[in-house]
Amino acid sequence: MNKKKHKQLENTLIISETSLREFTEQVFLTIGCTAAHAKLAADVLIAADLRGIDSHGTARLSGYVRLWQKGRLNPSPEIRIVHETPTTATVDGDRGLGLVVAPYAMEIAIKKAKDYGSGWVAVRNSNHFGIAGYHALLAVKQDMIGYAMTNASPLVTPTFSKERMLGTNPMCYAFPAGAYPPVVIDMATSAAANGKLEIAQRNGYSIPDGWVQTKDGTPSVNPHELKSGGALLPLGSDRAHGSHKGFGLSATVDILSAVLSGANYGPWAPPFVAYLEPHPQPVGEGLGHFLGALRADGFRPLDDFKQHMDNWIHRFKNAEPIDKNQPVIIPGEPERAATIERKANGIPVVKSVFDDLLKLANDLSLPSPNIA
């Protein structure tokens, strides 16, 4: 995206990475995070903004602050291992920021993988962890395959139901490559993520059939349907197109993240928004995550693996396209391209998010982020 294009987006302001990062860090410091935690939490949110996953970056910053104001987020958690084998562990996040708890858990997984070939850490008593890709990529930096998933506020219905039972429950698999950048599959297990509904809401568009249903379970194309008690649909959208598979994937994320760790699962998962109260009779503690690291050289020499990853990427990039102007996209490519562009030209922030940041600056008596 070039500067000209930016100017065409009337409701968007450009903020430099540095300015947005400094502001975000200051916010976390102000609510009581340690310097190290504030820096890490800001890094996770800015990574989302850089990667073009705008719904999971600083757009959520005020949400974390509101959870803290409600006393549902501990800014100075004592994160600790509560159960362990050589390659597995459960971590209690002590109601901390998932942005901090998840990287802590991933470092444990990486350490175990270094010693034994693989490491798997389930997390309970945490909060929203930002983008799954950030955590999975920590393993990739060590030439490991990274896994990251989390459960989330219930918005998605199982096939045949009209009840919101599951979050958009993302799963991420990240693979190191050689000359090519890593392959990063980072996906909500719903047909569409909530962020896509928000874009349609802002622009006044209707949405494709198969993303949401009404509170009675009728198909809908209204992007505001969730406000009327409707639900997001699992990947696959309907039974004929495999929504039972999307439900199965979402269930996998829920079970690994929360049933295994002792967090709240399914409809008990605590809401991210502070104006909704958590379930009065929880079945566990906080939100859950699941992180994993698998050494590539636990299976074949690292150079062999990387060479074949490059060959895999090269071959798939060159798969015969339907339209010559739209080649096959390797998972992770668009996010990488966005990062390069946004590091150079700044991060586009929509007006409503910027206003939210200004309000936050005012509330916390902080200087507001600079427009580029």
**Residues 117 to 156: which contact a second copy by CB under 8 A?**
117-118, 120, 122, 145
**Residues 220 to 239: which contact a second copy by CB under 8 A?**
235-237
Residue from 34, 316, 336, 341 in contact with a second copy (CB under 8 A): 316
**Residue 39 vs 317, nearer CB to a second copy:** 317
x/- contact string, 71-100, with a second copy (CB under 8 A)? ------------xxxxxxxx----------
Quick one: tokens of 162? 């009209």
**Residue 24 vs 157, nearer CB to a second copy:** 157
DSSP state of 97: -
Contact between 66 and a second copy per CB under 8 A:
no
**Residues 177 to 206: which contact a second copy by CB under 8 A?**
183, 185, 187-189, 191-192
Cα distances (Å, whole numbers) of residue 213 to 3, 9, 167, 232 = 38, 31, 15, 7
DSSP state of 150: E
Residue from 3, 7, 80, 160 in contact with a second copy (CB under 8 A): 160
Shortest distance, position 79 Cβ to a second copy, whole Å = 16
Contact between 157 and a second copy per CB under 8 A:
yes
Cα distances (Å, whole numbers) of residue 282 to 120, 165, 287, 297 = 25, 14, 11, 41
Contact between 315 and a second copy per CB under 8 A:
yes
Lookup result for tokens 């005020």: 62
**Residues 338 to 357: which contact a second copy by CB under 8 A?**
none
Contact between 257 and a second copy per CB under 8 A:
no
**Residue 39 vs 245, nearer CB to a second copy:** 245
Residue from 16, 19, 161, 345 in contact with a second copy (CB under 8 A): 161
- Judge whether 162 and 215 are in contact, CB under 8 Å: yes
Quote the crossing angle between the two packed helices 333-345 and 35-50, to the nearest 10°.
Answer: 110
29 C-beta neighbours (distance < 10 Å), count: 19
Distance, in Å, from the CA atom of 332 to the CA atom of 161, rounded to the nearest integer, reads 33
**Residues 272 to 311: which contact a second copy by CB under 8 A?**
283-284, 294-296, 298-300, 304-305, 308-309, 311
**Residue 193 vs 372, nearer CB to a second copy:** 193
The DSSP code sequence of 262-314 is T---GGGSPPSSTTSPPPSS-SSSSEEEEEEEEEGGGTS-HHHHHHHHHHHHH
